[in-house]
Amino acid sequence: MNDKLQEIKKRAFEQIENAQELDALNDVRVAILGKKGELTAVLKSMKDVAPEDRPKVGQMVNDARADIESKLALAKEKLESAEMEMKLKNEVIDVTLPAKKAKIGHNHPNIAALEEVEDIFIGMGYEVVEGPEIEYDYYNFEALNIPADHPAKDEQDTFYIDKNILLRTQTSPVQARVMEQGKLPIRIIAPGRVFRADEVDATHSPSFHQIEGMVIDKNITFADLKGTLQEFARKLFGEDTKVKFRPHHFPFTEPSAEVDVTCFKCGGKGCRFCKGEGWIEILGCGMVHPHVLEMSGIDPNEYQGFAFGVGLERIALLKYEIDDMRLLYENDDRFLKQF
Full residue range of the structural domain in which residue 42 is found: 2-90
pLDDT tens, per residue, the chain with 339 residues = 566 767 776 777 777 777 777 777 777 777 777 776 676 666 666 666 666 666 766 777 677 777 777 877 877 778 778 888 787 777 777 778 888 888 788 889 999 999 999 999 999 999 999 999 999 999 999 999 988 887 767 766 889 999 899 999 999 999 999 999 989 999 999 999 999 988 888 888 899 999 999 999 999 999 999 999 999 999 998 888 899 999 999 999 999 999 999 887 777 787 777 778 889 899 999 999 999 999 999 999 999 999 999 999 989 988 888 888 899 888 888 888 888
Residue 252, pLDDT score: 92
Cα separation, 206 vs 198, in Å, equals 5
Give yes or no: residues 151 and 78 share one domain.
no
Q: Are 193 and 253 in contact (CB under 8 A)?
A: no
Residue 291, pLDDT score: 94
Give yes or no: residues 151 and 85 share one domain.
no
Cα separation, 21 vs 186, in Å, equals 77
Examine residue 101 and state whether it is found in any structural domain, yes or no.
no
Cα separation, 262 vs 108, in Å, equals 26
Give yes or no: residues 170 and 313 share one domain.
yes
Examine residue 265 and state whether it is found in any structural domain, yes or no.
yes
Domain boundary residue among 59, 90, 121?
A: 90
Domain boundary residue among 90, 119, 134?
A: 90
Examine residue 47 and state whether it is found in any structural domain, yes or no.
yes
Residue 71, pLDDT score: 75
Cα separation, 310 vs 121, in Å, equals 13
Give yes or no: residues 67 and 122 share one domain.
no
Residue 182, pLDDT score: 86
| Total count of domains within the chain | 2
E strand or H helix at 102:
none
Give yes or no: residues 36 and 82 share one domain.
yes
Question: Model's pTM, two decimal places?
Answer: 0.67
Domain boundary residue among 25, 60, 90?
A: 90
Give yes or no: residues 267 and 183 share one domain.
yes
Task: Write out the E strands in 3-130.
Answer: 127-128
Examine residue 95 and state whether it is found in any structural domain, yes or no.
no
Examine residue 205 and state whether it is found in any structural domain, yes or no.
yes
E strand or H helix at 164:
none
Give yes or no: residues 291 and 185 share one domain.
yes
Give yes or no: residues 69 and 183 share one domain.
no
Examine residue 150 and state whether it is found in any structural domain, yes or no.
yes
Give yes or no: residues 171 and 300 share one domain.
yes
Residue 189, pLDDT score: 96
Query: What CATH number corresponds to the domain at position 255?
Result: 3.30.930.10
Examine residue 28 and state whether it is found in any structural domain, yes or no.
yes
Give yes or no: residues 22 and 80 share one domain.
yes
Examine residue 213 and state whether it is found in any structural domain, yes or no.
yes
Give yes or no: residues 171 and 52 share one domain.
no
